[in-house]
Amino acid sequence: MAAWRTAGLNYINYSNIAARLLRKALKPELRVQAARRDDSHIKFTKWQGGKPEKVITE
């Protein structure tokens, strides 16, 4: 069994932790580029009665 699974993590959590540690280990000039990839945008749409009701962007 994988060590991350034994520690009680799922793969997504393990992957996020590994990516964060890798970004911190980068040289400062490369760290800026990697930090841009850390941003994410999520769009939520509430559906009711089979039709989209309201779009929430975070």
Q: Is residue 21 part of a domain?
A: yes
This prediction's pTM: 0.52
* 27: CB partners within 8 A, 6+ apart: none
Residues belonging to the chain: 58
Number of domains in the chain: 1
Could you tell me the pLDDT band of residue 27, with boundaries at 50, 70 and 90? very high
Q: Is residue 58 part of a domain?
A: no
- Partners of 3 in the β-ladder: none
The dihedrals phi and psi of 49, each to the nearest 5 degrees, come to 65, 25
Q: Is residue 20 part of a domain?
A: yes
Q: Is residue 16 part of a domain?
A: yes
Residue 15: C-alpha distances to residues 24, 27, 28, 54 (Å) = 14, 21, 22, 32
User: Domain range holding 23?
Assistant: 3-52
Could you tell me the pLDDT band of residue 58, with boundaries at 50, 70 and 90? low
Q: Is residue 57 part of a domain?
A: no
